[in-house]
């Protein structure tokens, strides 16, 4: 969204904004994220600074777009952990979920040159490094285990779970006192 020349040059100055507004109007339940690259990677690109990212989110918000989250691609050559930390801290002030949508480090650097190699999830053979073990452990810990319960009088049942997909099985237990009232005629 900060490198918006393609659509704006071809479709007009508000093309990206129009995309978001159209989606929001067409499907009010769609979760809208602004996703871009070079916000985490470097401070050399004058277009994709964290301040420009925040400004773009504010522009969209002022025009009526309700964003559900922030998407950040991370295509690193030589990662700068201090910059990454500062950018994430600044974006966290917006109180929106932040998703890293892509993360990779250039192959042209060896383990020592990458600097953050120990933060990488796997080595070049896709064998877990210590950070990968931590992520795998967290993913296992964050799984919501089986939950059983009864619905309240109106049929609702709530639970707290982690983001993800769930398999739901519902069984119905007849309540003899309410059978005549609650059972539809067949």
* Distance, CA of 121 to CA of 135 (rounded, Å): 8
pLDDT digits (tens, 9 = 90+) for 108-147: 666 665 565 556 778 778 888 888 888 888 888 877 778 8
Q: Give mean pLDDT, residues 51-58.
A: 90
Q: Which band of pLDDT confidence, cut at 50, 70 and 90, is reported for residue 179?
A: very low
pLDDT score recorded for residue 58: 94
Q: What is the average per-residue pLDDT within 141-157?
A: 84
Longest dimension (CA), the chain: 75
Q: Domains of the chain: which residue ranges? A: 5-129
Helix, strand, coil percent content, the chain, rounded in steps of 5 = 40, 10, 50
For 5-129, CATH gives 3.20.20.80
Q: What angle, rounded to 10 degrees, do the helices at 15-26 and 50-62 form?
A: 50
Model confidence pLDDT, tens digit, residues 8-21: 888 998 999 999 99
């Amino acid at each position: 969204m900060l490198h918006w020349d393609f659509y704006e040059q071809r479709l007009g100055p508000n093309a990206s904004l129009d995309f978001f507004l159209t989606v929001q109007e067409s499907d009010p339940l769609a979760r809208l994220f602004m996703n871009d690259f070079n916000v985490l990677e470097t401070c050399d690109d004058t277009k994709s600074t964290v301040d420009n990212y925040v400004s773009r989110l504010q522009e969209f918000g002022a025009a009526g777009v309700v964003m559900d989250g922030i998407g950040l691609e991370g295509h690193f050559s030589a990662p700068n952990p201090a910059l990454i930390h500062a950018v994430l801290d600044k974006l966290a002030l917006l109180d929106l979920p932040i998703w890293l949508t892509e993360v990779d480090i250039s192959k042209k650097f060896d383990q020592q040159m990458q600097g953050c190699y120990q933060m990488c999830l796997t080595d070049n053979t896709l064998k877990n490094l210590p950070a990968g073990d931590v992520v795998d452990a967290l993913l296992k810990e964050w799984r919501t285990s089986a939950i059983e319960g009864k619905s309240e009088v109106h049929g609702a049942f709530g639970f707290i779970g982690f983001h993800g997909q769930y398999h739901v099985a519902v069984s119905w237990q007849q309540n003899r006192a309410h059978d005549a009232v609650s059972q539809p005629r067949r």
